[in-house]
Structure 1
Amino acid sequence: MVRNLKKLIEQVAKDKNLPEWLVEKALKNSIVLAIKKDRKIKNNLEVELTEDGIKVYQVRKGEKFPLDIVPEELDRIAAYAAKEEFLRELERADEERRYLEFIELEGEIVIGIVRRVLENGDLVVDLGKVMAILPKREQIPKESYKPGDRIKALLLKVIRKRGTYEIILSRTHPNFLRKLLEAEIPEIKEGEVEVLNIAREPGERAKVLVKAKDPRIDPVGLVVGLRGSKIAPVTQELSGERIDIIKYTDNIEELVKKSLAPAPVVDIRIDPNQKRVEVAVPKEKLSSAIGKRGVNVKLANRITGWYIDVMSEEDFKKLSQLS
């Protein structure tokens, strides 16, 4: 019987272009289901295909106990399972294989077609072999989609959920911007320029901290390109998200100034113990430094890793006099 099952596994694996281990798993699952149905067993079962025959165990609290079942009855149930339950389990195995292929693409950009827009705003995206979900929270706020739209996104993760798999996509994750930069800018992909950190307010603004492998090279110019030619396609893909490219320096004063650009910093006070920086800008440039809804200074905080308190020159001087 086992020899016949082994041959069945080999043949099905060949016909369906599936790995043998996945076919064997499907067959074992079908035998388990058939035994549970026949014996009305609720406990977990485990099946082994050995040279000596089919072995079945009940599993309780991590321990395995042989199931009392005669070989003839087991062969009958296994033969039934191979015919009746196996096809359904094989369909599940084929689905599992398709999703397992996408696990290798976690963290990479994928392209698909929007098939449905759910009531909660989530998108069902056809990736060719499988469907994926682009949750509302992972969409750029100003964007909207309809069935048939082509969409590019980061494959965030593949998760197992209630016995099946679910692929989650994202267009808001910092790594989506990182991968777009790698795709558009050869110097980043080839390692000449390293992306050290990314902070995003999706659809509005992003700050990208970069460092050149060769200190004599200007990484900002390489990334932005002549008149913004290299960064323009990335901005376009992100629905106009403004991208500030910042050259890394270990001088925190210079780094903070660059992170708040284009607002000019006229004075600065650094507290290394608190990782806090107080910054003075001209009064008429205060709103520019802080940004709409505080976005600019919030991103500067995240890209530098320091808390930046932006104030007018007048308030800066008053605080200086008090301290």
Structure 2
Amino acid sequence: MAITSANQLELLQTAEAVAREKMIEPELVIEAMEDSLARAAKSRYGSEMDIRVKIDRKTGHATFTRVRTVVEDDAVENYQAELTVEQARPYLDDPKVGDVIVDEVPPVELGRIAAQSAKQVILQRVREAERDRQYEEFKDRAGTIINGVVKREEYGNIIVDVGRGEAILRRNEKIGRESYRPNDRIRAYVKDVRREARGPQIFLSRTDPQFMAELFKMEVPEIYDGVIEIKAVARDPGSRAKIAVISYDNSIDPVGACVGMRGSRVQAVVGELQGEKIDIIPWNEDQATFLVNALQPAEVSKVVIDEDGGRIEVVVPDEQLSLAIGRRGQNVRLASQLTGLDIDILTEEEESKRRQAEFNARTQLFMDALDLDEFFAQLLVAEGFTDLEEVAYVELDELLSIEGVDEGTAEELQARARDVLEARNKAALENARALGVEDSLVDFDGLSPQMVEALAKDGIKTLEDFATCADWELAGGWTTVDGQRVKDEGLLEPFDVSLEEAQNMVMTARVMLGWVDPTELGAEAGDETGEGDDQEAGA
């Protein structure tokens, strides 16, 4: 097949038809044709040649050209597409490296194989353009709700027609035992859009918490307008959910607005979620207040927050325990997801027993260590003293504020406490040295003798050993395993060493050993501070 004047216009007509069918730009189709004709020409003139084809966008005339580039004398690798400055003089008046020589060559005749190859190139380029169009169209729709029509089911996964593409709803993203038939209409949340070799993959979800948030945004105009904001969502898909909302207009009740007149708004969402029960909760900046709201309908007596551990302790009346926990732990689990904290629930009786046990343990500590009678030891505990260090090094005025304690008694208490602590330090140091601890670790600033002893029992006996420790190994931390937060016990955690203090001690040890340059460390800290300032300024 030769590209003659008779079929030149057919190229443009074909390009228009393909572009219209695939909903892509005609220019992309013409470029694909130019590429396919160039490949066919290379098979005719030689694959080493740089053959290019240009199709006139008005007439459809295809021009075949050979391109050669002027390079350095010793840089010629392809003699068909490159030439030296000297070789270029017959073609250019003053050739320089980088100049290009373009010669027109006769059009090629496409044999059957060449024509088939050209067709495959065009189809491939058109497919790529179609995939790019689909990706560009759907990538910005991630995080929104999309409507589609069920096409088929494959191994429990639902293939959904979403207009100019197909999406997949995996079986683990369906609510409960949902089942769909071909041509059923479906509404789902676009969880992710990925560009893959086989084309853009659009992943849908009906179990994602944000699906419920987007449904409320559609049903509640105040959320769409930004007057009410959804702060957190937690779901047990198909069963129960909790959603925390806040209003930025004092005249609008966020819970009432989401419920709607006679529950019309929330019922529309419930109907879409297959009857999922929804608790709408007012959000509060105070974590304790927010948690009390999140555990509704259970009543809460007291909340104790452990900010370092990311845990929260809730005390409820004995008769409210089952309601607070919920069926199979559902209520407390959803409240935990909503607040982002691990929640321990205790009854008032359990909490009272624990507090009494702590009180007795501290009382016994002061009785044994300071040789006090039970009444005086209980008096110290009642005033908030928890350990010997507090008694030994607290300001004398704090001890004098205790009823019945004069200056002589206060000084005697501190002297006894310091004697006990010094004896303990001496014993701990002797034990540590017996375990083989070196002076470099004993003399390290920030480590008490008891800390050194605890490290030695774990095999950390030198400053080098200490410098190789991770901060969480010393201060402890939390690890998520199978979706559950698991406590990592730190070697120095019993001594109330924070993660930041552990980081500073380890880094100081590394500087002392010469492993880290303190000037570089300071520069990095400055860079991080600068980045933070830039981010704040940008914000």
* Fold agreement, TM-score > 0.5: yes
Alignment match of 1:106 (pick from 142, 145, 151): 142
Cα offset, 1:156, TM superposition: 2.0
Alignment match of 2:317 (pick from 269, 282, 287): 282
Matches within 5 A, 1:189-228: 189-228=224-263
Q: Does 1:131 align with 2:166?
A: yes
Q: Which residue of 2 aligns with 1:312?
A: 347
Cα offset, 1:74, TM superposition: 9.4
Query: 1:30 touches 1:89 (CA, 8 Å); kept in 2?
Result: no
Distance 2:342 2:230 in 1: 21
Give the count of matched residue pairs: 309
Query: 2:15 touches 2:30 (CA, 8 Å); kept in 1?
Result: no
Q: Does 1:293 align with 2:308?
A: no
Cα offset, 1:295, TM superposition: 2.0
What is the alpha-carbon root mean square deviation over aligned residues? 3.9
Q: Does 1:163 align with 2:198?
A: yes
Query: 1:279 touches 1:316 (CA, 8 Å); kept in 2?
Result: no
Tell me the amino acid that sits aligned with residue 287 of structure 1. Answer: S
Tell me the amino acid that sits aligned with residue 129 of structure 1. Answer: R
Q: Per the alignment, in what secondary structure is the counterpart of residue 148 of structure 1?
A: coil
Cα offset, 1:250, TM superposition: 1.4
Distance 2:199 2:216 in 1: 33
Q: Which residue of 2 aligns with 1:175?
A: 210
Describe the shift of the 1:302–1:158 C-alpha distance in structure 2 as closer, same or farther (beyond 3 A).
same
Query: 1:55 touches 1:66 (CA, 8 Å); kept in 2?
Result: no
Tell me the amino acid that sits aligned with residue 233 of structure 1. Answer: A
Cα offset, 1:229, TM superposition: 1.9
Alignment match of 2:270 (pick from 223, 235, 238): 235
Q: Which residue of 1 aligns with 2:187?
A: 152
Cα offset, 1:86, TM superposition: 4.6
Distance 1:295 1:149 in 2: 32
Q: Per the alignment, in what secondary structure is the counterpart of residue 112 of structure 1?
A: strand
Query: 1:23 touches 1:93 (CA, 8 Å); kept in 2?
Result: no
Query: 1:113 touches 1:149 (CA, 8 Å); kept in 2?
Result: yes
Tell me the amino acid that sits aligned with residue 257 of structure 2. Answer: L
Describe the shift of the 1:215–1:24 C-alpha distance in structure 2 as closer, same or farther (beyond 3 A).
farther
Bigger proportion of residues as strand = 1
Q: Which residue of 2 aligns with 1:88?
A: 123
Alignment match of 2:289 (pick from 254, 258, 267): 254
Describe the shift of the 1:234–1:176 C-alpha distance in structure 2 as closer, same or farther (beyond 3 A).
same
Q: Per the alignment, in what secondary structure is the counterpart of residue 234 of structure 2?
A: strand
Query: 1:206 touches 1:299 (CA, 8 Å); kept in 2?
Result: yes
Q: Does 1:23 align with 2:29?
A: yes
Alignment match of 1:118 (pick from 154, 157, 182): 154
Q: Structure 2: where are the runs of 5+ without partners?
A: 55-62, 69-76, 82-102, 359-539
Cα offset, 1:151, TM superposition: 0.9
Distance 2:275 2:300 in 1: 27
Q: Taking structure 2 as the reference length, what is the TM-score of the superposition?
A: 0.50
Cα offset, 1:91, TM superposition: 4.6
Q: Which residue of 2 aligns with 1:60?
A: none
Cα offset, 1:39, TM superposition: 11
Q: Per the alignment, in what secondary structure is the counterpart of residue 231 of structure 1?
A: helix
Cα offset, 1:193, TM superposition: 0.3
Bigger proportion of residues as helix = 2
Q: Per the alignment, in what secondary structure is the counterpart of residue 264 of structure 1?
A: coil
Distance 2:169 2:43 in 1: 38
